[in-house]
Structure 1
Amino acid sequence: MRVLRIGAGAGFSGDRIAPAVELAEKGELDFLIFECLAERTIALAQQARLKDPAAGYDPLLERRMRAVLPITARNGTRIVTNMGAANPRAAARLVQKIASELGLHQLRISAVTGDDVLDRIETYHLDETGKAAADLGDRLVSANAYIGVTAIVSALDAGADVVICGRASDPALFLAPLVHHFGWAMDDWTRLGRGTLVGHLLECSAQITGGYFADPGVKDVPNLAQIGFPLAEVSEDGSAVITKVVGSGGLVTRATCTEQLLYEIHNPAEYFQPDVVADFSNVTIQEIGPDRVAVSGANGKPASGYLKISVGYRDGWKGEGQISYAGTNCVARAQLAAALVQERLENAGIPLLESRYDLIGYDSVLRAAGCNTAAPHEVRMRFAARCETSSIAELVAEEVESLYLCGPAGGGGVTRSVREIVAIASTLMPIQEISTAFEMMETQNEVA
């Protein structure tokens, strides 16, 4: 069978749209994949849906679809995405509406459901605390399983042009089109492992084309301002060539591919996924031309039989304030400012669940390493606290703002914020407890 061309249209919810448009226009793609979810993203989407039953999908869904649908429909490129987040059905309805408004009445839109397991999570114990999810009470916001390819493949087999998921495994979004196109068996562990490698390499969009990789004077990346998103040319045996649109910014090299290969991998011989345990320990990466890197050698073995569940819960409120100090002795003045805020909150008897301060530009990242060798010319003091209520969090932010006149000399540029904290925990659930399905608009089709 011919090589399948599959591209990455996004690597996170706030990713750039222009490179996806370029890829849709010039990539000669069979599939364009938008991977837009993270652990907190899905919990925040669930929170939005609680406030509005019609909400809960990716905030950039409409902009992305209006930008690419006219192109993908014209080129015959099909789309798979997890931009459905907490509400795939609502997302699918919106995409159908957009397609109709654009005159693309022939497009078939499908929603994949089944990842939401909030109704059966209470008895499961959370890895981080050892306690049952039920102990969270009304603080429990969401519980979503990282589902595999089954329902996505079925939707594609049924002719869907756009498949919208909730919390699918990131590589599964890319693996599903490969299973669909090549007809791979779901116990062909070697090919499933190789397809998972392709998905893992593409899932973070520009990370493999020089974004995040760039380090001026150390790892220079050409034309980073016009960085292109990656695509893979995948053969029937699962081997692939990673590349990008000719003329787009960035680069694809053995180094960029190696960095992405190692990204978020704990044990390269056992990368647990819903459909396979992938083995990347014998992967080979070879530059075969400008911006063309061949990858092969992945393998796999049977999946564990469990799916990871991401559990979101309310964990209080965060009050935060920031203020800048510059010039001679700026570090000491910023440290005094932080100490004043802490002391004033304690003297007022304001209860804080936890608090910290950072001097951004001096010790906010490397404080524990003791790397400070010289005083900077300027720092920004950030004080943040986790509180039980929003009103207490407001008091924290107010205390930082009061430093304008009640703190050390030269403070300025105060910002303040208060927001509810949605924390994330995880557990495992037997795959038999989770049923996925796809809906081609009005028709629902049970598949697993």
Structure 2
Amino acid sequence: MIRIGSGAGFSGDRLEPAVLLAEQGKLDYLVLECLAERTIALAQKRKRQDPGLGYDPLLEKRMERLLPAIKKHGIRLLTNMGAANPVAAAEKIVEIARRQGLSVKVAAVTGDDVLEKLDLQQPTLESGDPLASYGALISANAYIGVDALLPALQTGADVIVAGRVADPSLFLAPMIHHYGWSLDDADKLAQGTVIGHLLECAGQLTGGYYADPGKKDIPDLSQLGFPYADVAEDGTAVLSKLEGTGGVIHLGTVKEQLLYEVTNPAAYLTPDITADFTKVRLRELGPNRVQVTGGRGRPRPSHLKVSVGYHAGYIGEGEISYAGTNARARAELAGAIISERLSAASFPDMRVDYIGSNSTHRTSFGEISQPYEIRLRVAAKTASKEMAAVIGEEVEALYTNGPAGGGGARKYVHEVVGIVSVMIPRESVRPQVTIRECFA
């Protein structure tokens, strides 16, 4: 058996569960999955401003806590926290290890940045419009897989830090490396992909996204533990978590995560395999122990998906609260005032929300009860930062130019990074491994 722990499910995830896994989990591998589509586009912007940046903003904080534990217990760590700059991330990890008096070998995996290789006339997957029609591009990163990670594992590195690796691949690569699975063994790769998909969101598997009070109760969420998998040579896995941590692993949490972000369960596409989830079997072996078998696979796709970030203008926002008797009516009057002041000609896609009544689903579904408090939110997308600022300024002016009792006004302006997807031939992507190390 090898034991693989999930230490993060997104860039801003909690650190403490990962530290517990490293210190008490008897792991062979710890995976930190910290990258999303907009995350890497924003990382590319930081790299442009400073060539020494572009990795995950929390990399230093995570590594300062985790490096002593993984070195003490002989754990190998894989992560995509390299984001737009894996080599700089590797150098930062070595710098931290040197300060801590630790020897460390770090392998940086690059090659996913394909901005210079794109055909700007190719259609996007979302709309079919040419990529060039979206304006200024910020980033283009291909989803690379285990064939990029395996050479890094073969170096014996303590830490493998990459950019846009597909989430399940971070977990699948250690299985292939440890057991020597053939890259042509479609069923084993599919089974490993199922396990990776179940682990990739960390606390979602232990109930963090499952919880719904009174319907799906989860114990001790404030101390939520993250999951790990014991994986056998045939790909059979048992999911569990550390004893004494919060949350739960049972058939309900595992089933929800299995179907999370899966468009076609019979053909889940990754850079490594076309996985069929429809034959997956789950069996509860005991408290917080679920066995996973049955993943089946077909050959991997000939093309890789590319996530492209582009400059999509600015959003201006303003918020103000109304509370007490007639709160909804006063908020609606405030919304009408703003709508009249900011004519549709200037802000054609302006959105007026009444938070607490209709903002999430854009309707109240006929609910007629009168809330005690409502927060008005007005937002619009604009081409310029200056125009975006007008939205918040007008909302703030409601203090004395609008209905009675408005309070807690806030205003925001932020740049919008849009995301679209295209495909690129697999042979156009050439991953590389760069080693950085230090000796205590």
TM category, shorter: over 0.9
The equivalent residue for 1:43 is: 41
Cα distance in 2 for residues equivalent to 1:340 and 1:369: 21
Cα distance in 1 for residues equivalent to 2:368 and 2:258: 34
Contact 1:254 1:285 in 2 (8 A): yes
**Distance apart, 1:50 and its partner CA:** 1.5
1:390 is aligned, of 376, 385, 388, to 385
Contact 1:214 1:221 in 2 (8 A): yes
CA RMSD of superposed structures (Å):
1.3
Letter in 2 for 1:81: T
The equivalent residue for 1:328 is: 325
Cα distance in 2 for residues equivalent to 1:61 and 1:353: 40
The equivalent residue for 1:163 is: 160
The equivalent residue for 1:203 is: 200
Superposed CA deviations along residues 99-134 of structure 1, whole A, max 9, x for unmatched, are 1111112x1101000110000123432123423323
The equivalent residue for 1:445 is: none
Question: Relative to structure 2, which stretch is displaced further, 117-126 or 205-214?
Answer: 117-126
2:434 is aligned, of 431, 434, 439, to 439
Contact 1:359 1:381 in 2 (8 A): yes
The equivalent residue for 1:260 is: 257
Cα distance in 2 for residues equivalent to 1:286 and 1:359: 45
Aligned length: 436
Query: Which 5+ residue runs of structure 1 have no aligned equivalent?
Result: 443-448
Contact 2:357 2:364 in 1 (8 A): no
Cα distance in 2 for residues equivalent to 1:340 and 1:229: 48
**Distance apart, 1:51 and its partner CA:** 1.5
The equivalent residue for 1:412 is: 407
Superposed CA deviations along residues 158-185 of structure 1, whole A, max 9, x for unmatched, are 1111000101100001111111111111
**Distance apart, 1:353 and its partner CA:** 5.3
The equivalent residue for 1:120 is: 117
Contact 1:353 1:388 in 2 (8 A): no
SS at match of 2:93: helix
Cα distance in 1 for residues equivalent to 2:343 and 2:348: 12
Cα distance in 2 for residues equivalent to 1:373 and 1:78: 56
Contact 1:270 1:278 in 2 (8 A): yes
SS at match of 1:94: helix
Superposed CA deviations along residues 271-312 of structure 1, whole A, max 9, x for unmatched, are 001010011101111110111010111111101111111010
SS at match of 1:108: strand
Query: Which 5+ residue runs of structure 2 have no aligned equivalent?
Result: none
Superposed CA deviations along residues 304-336 of structure 1, whole A, max 9, x for unmatched, are 111111010001111001111111211111111
Matched, 1:293 2:290: yes
The equivalent residue for 1:63 is: 61
The equivalent residue for 2:369 is: 374
Matched, 1:152 2:152: no
The equivalent residue for 1:245 is: 242
The equivalent residue for 1:94 is: 92
Matched, 1:82 2:50: no
Letter in 2 for 1:44: L
Letter in 2 for 1:302: P
Question: Relative to structure 2, which stretch is displaced further, 114-123 or 236-245?
Answer: 114-123
User: In 2 relative to 1, CA 371–14 (structure 1 residues): closer, same or farther, beyond 3 Å?
Assistant: farther
Identity %: 52
SS at match of 2:225: coil
The equivalent residue for 1:15 is: 13
SS at match of 2:350: strand
Cα distance in 2 for residues equivalent to 1:282 and 1:363: 40
The equivalent residue for 1:224 is: 221
Letter in 2 for 1:14: G
Contact 1:323 1:411 in 2 (8 A): yes
Cα distance in 1 for residues equivalent to 2:265 and 2:129: 30
Contact 2:123 2:422 in 1 (8 A): yes
2:420 is aligned, of 408, 420, 425, to 425
Letter in 2 for 1:241: V
Matched, 1:141 2:134: no
Q: How do 1:265-280 and structure 2 match up within 5 A?
A: 265-280=262-277
Superposed CA deviations along residues 32-54 of structure 1, whole A, max 9, x for unmatched, are 00000111111111111122211
**Distance apart, 1:438 and its partner CA:** 1.0
The equivalent residue for 1:446 is: none
Cα distance in 1 for residues equivalent to 2:366 and 2:64: 48
Letter in 1 for 2:18: A
Q: TM-score, normalised by structure 2?
A: 0.97
**Distance apart, 1:203 and its partner CA:** 0.3
